[in-house]
Amino acid sequence: MKKDNKNVIYWLLLGCVLIFIMVIVGGITRLTHSGLSISNYKLISGTIPPMNETEWQEAFDLYKQYPEYQKLNTHFTLEDFKDIYFWEWIHRVIGRFIGVVFIIPFLFFLVRKQLSKPTIKKSIILLLLGGFQGFLGWYMVKSGLVDNPDVSHYRLAMHLTTAFVTFAYTFWVALDLMFPMKKDIDKNVRNVIRIGLGVLLLQIIYGAFVAGLDAGFIHNHWPLMSKGKFMHETVYIEQNPLYKNFIEGKSGVQFVHRMLAYFVVAIIFYIWYKAKRTILTNYQLHGVNALMIMVVIQFILGVLTIVYGVPVWLGVVHQVGAFILLSAMTFTLHRFSK
């Protein structure tokens, strides 16, 4: 029986699609402030939402015991609660479904001996990443159930970045099976792409910081930063030591996110320029061109998201853009790697 057949590739690509959907729903959950609506974690029974008014009232009463309701949402009715409950519930259900989609086919392929040893090792890493991602999701939610009615932006960044990394690695494993033979590559171009991937991941982390601190609601101008028009507060708050301004201050975090955006654009332009000076395969050419197109689109989306004060739909589209840009970077690096 042939190992690592097309069914294995389809399985991995389906996993990529589901993680993509998971990230979109996660973005909506964050932007609609729905993430703390379910304040307990039940792996099996939690899959079924409240089915009658009594169960809905019990879930609402539980929500009332935590800071988000007590400090921010005392005006909420049961209908308001149902709206935010939906997004967090569907986010968790998709997470459980992804676990099933990864584990059951993996065991099936393993029993049928359709996986090579390298693919088995990579699949185990994927399962561990998925489990870790689930743990980080609950670890993130717990941070908003104590005193502060919001999750830790550090934990949010860990949760989001792990999702992006899990997707990228799943896509990489699928590409390994789709393109088993590789040509001689230009190591200089490959190394620049590696640096670009590192910078892009750092930018994704800072995007999570911006989301976690609601830093997108201030300095809603471009190219210069000025006081926001959507959030009435003092935005420049000096913190000691100085570095905390750039990891915990709203103004500092948005500033770093903006500067990294310029750097991501610059390094991708450089990748495109450097690659064009070499002999490229069709896939390599498609990869660097996709990078160029996507980084321009993503930059424009970022500017519009800030200028319009992060409307939900635009915030989600911007997050989707980051996902597609990471996909293009992963594909391009794979095509320039041995």
- What is residue 236's predicted lDDT score, i.e. its pLDDT? 56
Q: For the whole model, what pTM was predicted?
A: 0.91
- What is residue 1's predicted lDDT score, i.e. its pLDDT? 47
Per DSSP, the three-state class of 331 is helix
- What is residue 197's predicted lDDT score, i.e. its pLDDT? 97
Answer yes or no: are the C-beta atoms of 239 and 248 closer than 8 Å. Answer: yes
- What is residue 5's predicted lDDT score, i.e. its pLDDT? 82
Tell me the H-state helices in the chain. Answer: 6-31, 53-63, 67, 78-111, 117-142, 153-178, 187-212, 250-276, 282-307, 312-335
By the 10 Å C-beta count (0-12 exposed, 13-18 middle, 19+ buried), 262 is classed as: exposed
The residue type found at 207 is G
Spatial separation of the C-alpha atoms in residues 243 and 232, rounded to whole Å:
25
Instruction: Please list the ranges in the chain whose pLDDT falls under 70.
Output: 1-2, 4, 45, 182-184, 227-240
- What is residue 2's predicted lDDT score, i.e. its pLDDT? 57
- What is residue 16's predicted lDDT score, i.e. its pLDDT? 96
- What is residue 39's predicted lDDT score, i.e. its pLDDT? 82
Q: Which of 114, 111, 124 is nearest to 170 (CA)?
A: 124
Angle at CA of residue 101, ends 10 and 321, nearest 5°: 70
- What is residue 121's predicted lDDT score, i.e. its pLDDT? 95
Spatial separation of the C-alpha atoms in residues 280 and 268, rounded to whole Å:
16
186 φψ region: left (φ > 0), alpha (ψ -120 to 50), beta (else): beta
